[in-house]
Amino acid sequence: MITIDIIANSQKDLLEQIQQKIGGSIINNWNESILTIDNENAKGTLRFVPFDWGVNLLDFDITLRKEFVFKILAQPEFNPIRFLYPSVGSFKHRFGVDNTEKKVEQFQSLIFTNKTGGYNYLHFIKNEHLNLNLIEIVRKQFLQKRTSNVSSLNKKLYEVFADTDHENRFSNYGTLNLKMADLIKKLKKVKGKGMLRILKIEAVVYEILSLHIQQHNRLLAGVPLPTSLDKSELKIIRKLSVLILKRPEKDYSLEDLSLKSGLTQSKLQDGFKFLYNRTVTEYIRHVRLESARDLIRTTDLNISQIVYSIGFSSRSYFSKIFREKYDITPNQFKKKLTAVLEQ
């Protein structure tokens, strides 16, 4: 096992100190830095993107070929709250004052920060592919943002955000959260260049951060996983939701999805309500409407062609539910887009 001592005084120190120990090369493109590694230590990438007001993103998409422990010192100048989520793989965490590591499984979140002078240990397993999303918030900078109304947080998180002198240690190990995995996929698909790309990435980062906070609120409120489902069954339901996202035009029925997944119709409904706050039918309709809106925006297909290409059989029904969802008819939406393009 190889321990990497990281003494980070600023945002970019973490990425550069990892490079010093593991190797690889860093490419800086606008405000985005990517460390690419392919050697005896690891294969993959680490991406670092700093935003305004002390918010930073560090994305791991990597397989470590050796067992590593990142030993991170909490500095007076740089001791952020860290929000971690592995959409692929797992890792272990402990504070320097603890002897026992806690494992953070795939789809489980972790929020932590330490006292100044304390150590944070992140233990990464050999030869396990890891997609890890890590969001940092530097509290003094973040609280200067006018829209950062941390007083609206629950009492515990408010105390953590308000602890700008880093006098307290905090950790929260979340339960299974599959919604966050969907946002991670969305983050990886962001396209564009320069400032526009960074703004798009930042928007998704704040969505992920919001889910971390919502989950912490749910845990404090004692909201459990649905009793009818275990974690493996929720993962099956997520696979179904991804299938629907990829092929919204298919003729899905609750009975067919039940046969395909091996789950009862009741479990499917409970799972979709828990993960997406929608019934199966509502989720399929939502995905189709989102797909239709994208097709109107990005293709030359007329409305009728789009209606049938996404699995609807009635144009009038499609127009009705499109207007209910977006407060505009499909034709009005298309005309507005055309007018903007012609300006």
Which pLDDT belongs to residue 143?
80
The CA dihedral of 177, 181, 182, 188, to the nearest 10 degrees, is 160
Residue 143 tokens read as 């609280």
In angstroms, the CA 233 to CA 219 distance is 21
Burial of 275 (0-12, 13-18, 19+ CB in 10 A): buried
The answer to whether the Cα torsion of 151, 152, 153, 155 is positive or negative is positive
Cβ pair 206, 135 in contact under 8 A: no
Which pLDDT belongs to residue 147?
62
Cβ pair 120, 92 in contact under 8 A: no
Which pLDDT belongs to residue 222?
65
Let me know how many helices (H) and strands (E) the chain has, helices first: 12, 13
Cβ pair 286, 326 in contact under 8 A: no
DSSP string of 8-27, one letter each residue: -SSTTHHHHHHHHHH--EEE
In angstroms, the CA 202 to CA 120 distance is 26
Which pLDDT belongs to residue 224?
62
Which pLDDT belongs to residue 81?
92
Range list of H helices, 89-171:
139-142, 155-162
Which pLDDT belongs to residue 287?
92
Distances (CA, A) of 329 to 58, 159, 239: 40, 46, 32
- Phi then psi for residue 173, to 5 deg, are -100, 115
Which pLDDT belongs to residue 275?
81
Cβ pair 149, 205 in contact under 8 A: no
Q: Residue 220, CB half-sphere, CA atoms under 13 Å: how many? A: 12
Collect all residues with Cβ–Cβ distance below 8 Å to 221 and sequence separation of at least 6: none
Full-model pTM: 0.75
- Angle in degrees, 0-180, between the axes of helices 155-162 and 194-220, rounded to the nearest 10: 130
Which pLDDT belongs to residue 152?
62
Which pLDDT belongs to residue 61?
96
Cβ pair 62, 118 in contact under 8 A: no
Residue 28: DSSP 8-state: E
In angstroms, the CA 39 to CA 4 distance is 17
- 172 membership: H or E segment, kind and range: strand 170-176
In angstroms, the CA 95 to CA 98 distance is 5
In angstroms, the CA 61 to CA 88 distance is 9
Which pLDDT belongs to residue 151?
61
Side by side, the strands of the sheet bearing 42-50 are 25-29, 32-38, 42-50, 55-64, 129-137, 81-88, 108-113, 170-176
- pLDDT tens digits in sequence order for the chain, 343 residues long: 889 888 877 666 778 888 988 999 999 888 899 999 999 999 999 999 999 888 999 999 999 999 999 999 888 878 889 999 999 999 999 999 988 999 999 989 999 999 988 999 999 999 999 999 999 998 888 887 756 566 667 777 788 888 788 888 999 998 888 888 888 988 988 888 888 899 999 999 999 998 898 888 777 766 666 667 787 888 899 889 989 988 999 999 999 999 999 999 999 998 898 888 889 999 999 999 999 998 998 888 899 999 989 988 899 999 999 999 888 999 888 888 776 555 5
In angstroms, the CA 27 to CA 34 distance is 5
Range list of H helices, the chain:
13-22, 139-142, 155-162, 179-188, 194-220, 231-246, 254-261, 265-276, 280-298, 303-309, 315-326, 330-342
Which pLDDT belongs to residue 263?
92
